[in-house]
Structure 1
Amino acid sequence: MNTSPEIADRLQLAQQLAVEAGRGTLKHFQKSGLVVDRKADDSPVTVADREAETLIRDRLAAQFPADGVIGEEFGETTGSGDFRWIIDPIDGTKSFVAGVPLYGTLIGIEHAGQNVAGVIYIPGLDEMVYAAKGCGAWYRQGDEQPRLTKVNAAKSLQDGVFVTSQVNTFARRDAMEAFERLEDAAFITRTWGDCYGYLLVVTGRAVAMVDPMLSVWDAAAIQPILEEAGGAFVDWRGEPTVHSGEGIGANPHVLEEVLAICREYPRLK
């Protein structure tokens, strides 16, 4: 792997933890009696979210005690070194609660403030994509050997699938017209959203994924994977950042078409 041993070791552990934590969620998936709590922002959380993040945090504390950690369920633990892990134990909790297998476990690795590696794992489908800077993006399903993956070469939205997580998030930021324009331009539109939508872009099955609203733990793992797959992850101004509260993942050709629409709307923050 053409990266530092420090990053390579962490990426290997991230893959192991994403699979272990992700598969752990399956013991609660599609089971009757699952208790769904509500957080302060009214988003759902379950015992599966908490168990998965706890597993990851405990293992990181044992193997890389100097690293910082930020996760959706338990906030931030400051580290003494330059590495920070950014975790979303279940990205797509609403899908998980509904029994839909298009949710995932996200683990991003940050070094000195830069996102250098990431893993997306979809437990219900046993699909994974992962990458580290300079090493390409890799995809595997089930027991298959990992293979390099690339975004597709579509020239415009009309040549492929446009995906988003939830349509009403466009309305919540006064950008419903943006969704309508993107939908009209695309060959087909689907809400195969959350991290699964980005996995579809990384593996060439979708041409663009647009999120009007998202958190840093939704984005940190995704940026390096998309970039290593020959695509981009940017905000609605076209800046390659995971801190704007919004995101676009696309191949380079389609990105400009999407930005021509999304740039017209005010910044979230």
Structure 2
Amino acid sequence: MTRAHDDFLDDLSLAHVLADAADRISMARFRALDLRVDTKPDLTPVTDADSSVEESIRSSLARARPRDSVLGEEFGASDPGDWRGNRQWIVDPIDGTKNFVRGVPIWATLIALFTGGRPVVGLVSAPALGRRWWAALGHGAYAGRNATHANRIGVSGVKSLSDASFCYSSLTGWEQRGKLDGMLSLTRRSWRSRAYGDFYGYMLLAEGAVDAMVEPELSLWDVAALIPIVTEAGGSFTDLAGAPAPGDGSAVASNGPLHGELLTALSD
């Protein structure tokens, strides 16, 4: 084990501390009668919980990692650099805001650390589900209620699409990207298909509960924390062109053996 990999454990421990504080804020606002919901310029919703969670994480990082930059969904980048720089934390304060607004418990805070453009730490905390997933480069992937009550997780060994549980986001984005036929073909050829959406399909993949998860378009904060968890669990994670994620903003994640078939079906 390299010294660099040891260092990432300290960053992972910090991510847990950040998530603990985020969970307290978000759960206090979940299903609150006075929850404030606004509409961003891209027509997606944002709540006062989104803003408060990100502010909390940024404040803690400013104290604990003052030399690191931060990129968050609600407040952008803390410096003019980007995720290909040295060390950058990438935060989605509430992934699944539409679920959060409607009282659906499938939402999470996503926290990632990139070094030199490479995702090395990922943590997904879903307090309304009472579950958290995390990974650091070279240390495997884990899931549980918290860091002290956890089990190591791994992807499935399913080798045939006809035996696979296939997960995807809504079909609208695939239609807009001109790949709806490929998507429908995969749903027909799979043993089972479900649209869990957001972070949840990827975490089910990392646990071996589903075998593939695909999305046509994602922002960096949507996917950054997911990559280390899926890959440290033994899975594959690329964009639609087969390039290492985050790539072009699309996502194809699998248990590994199914990856080539997924890319072929979704190719132009």
Amino acid at match of 1:108: A
Structure 1: tracts of 5 or more residues without a match: 265-269
2:117 to 113, 117, 122: 113
Q: Does the 8 A contact of 1:101 with 1:124 survive in 2?
A: yes
Amino acid at match of 1:212: P
Q: Which residue does 1:250 correspond to in 2?
A: 254
* Distance (Å, rounded) in 1 between the aligned partners of 2:185 and 2:237: 20
Q: Does the 8 A contact of 1:164 with 1:192 survive in 2?
A: yes
Tell me the percent identity. Answer: 39
* Distance (Å, rounded) in 1 between the aligned partners of 2:24 and 2:129: 10
How do 1:93-172 residues align onto structure 2 when only pairs under 5 Å count? Answer: 93-141=97-145, 145-172=149-176
Cα deviation for residue 28 of structure 1 reads: 1.5
Deviates more, 1:155-164 or 1:70-79: 155-164
| TM superposition score normalised by structure 2 | 0.93
Q: Which residue does 1:218 correspond to in 2?
A: 222
Amino acid at match of 2:60: R
* Distance (Å, rounded) in 1 between the aligned partners of 2:225 and 2:140: 14
User: Structure 1 residue runs of 4+, over 6 Å off?
Assistant: none
Indicate the SS of the match to 2:258: helix
Q: Which residue does 1:38 correspond to in 2?
A: 39
Cα deviation for residue 100 of structure 1 reads: 0.9
Q: Does the 8 A contact of 1:3 with 1:134 survive in 2?
A: no
**What is the number of equivalent residue pairs in this alignment?**
264
* Distance (Å, rounded) in 1 between the aligned partners of 2:146 and 2:59: 26
Give the superposed CA RMSD. Answer: 1.9
Amino acid at match of 1:75: G
* Distance (Å, rounded) in 1 between the aligned partners of 2:210 and 2:188: 16
Mark the CA change 1:181 to 1:3 in structure 2 (over 3 Å): closer, same or farther: farther
* Distance (Å, rounded) in 2 between the aligned partners of 1:161 and 1:22: 30
Indicate the SS of the match to 1:162: strand
* Distance (Å, rounded) in 2 between the aligned partners of 1:20 and 1:160: 37
Mark the CA change 1:114 to 1:28 in structure 2 (over 3 Å): closer, same or farther: same
Indicate the SS of the match to 1:26: helix
Deviations 1:126-158 (A, max 9, x none): 211111111111111368722211001111232
Amino acid at match of 2:103: G
Deviates more, 1:12-21 or 1:193-202: 12-21
Mark the CA change 1:20 to 1:156 in structure 2 (over 3 Å): closer, same or farther: farther
Q: Which residue does 1:29 correspond to in 2?
A: 30
| TM superposition score normalised by structure 1 | 0.92
Q: Does the 8 A contact of 1:11 with 1:132 survive in 2?
A: yes
Mark the CA change 1:10 to 1:84 in structure 2 (over 3 Å): closer, same or farther: same
1:12 maps to 2:16: no
Q: Does the 8 A contact of 1:119 with 1:221 survive in 2?
A: yes
Q: Does the 8 A contact of 1:201 with 1:209 survive in 2?
A: yes
Q: Which residue does 2:62 correspond to in 1?
A: 61
* Distance (Å, rounded) in 2 between the aligned partners of 1:143 and 1:10: 13
Amino acid at match of 2:38: D
Deviates more, 1:87-96 or 1:161-170: 161-170
Indicate the SS of the match to 2:129: coil
Deviates more, 1:128-137 or 1:81-90: 81-90
Indicate the SS of the match to 2:143: strand
* Distance (Å, rounded) in 1 between the aligned partners of 2:29 and 2:180: 35
Indicate the SS of the match to 2:208: coil
Q: Which residue does 2:77 correspond to in 1?
A: 76
Indicate the SS of the match to 1:259: helix
Amino acid at match of 1:193: G
Cα deviation for residue 3 of structure 1 reads: 5.5
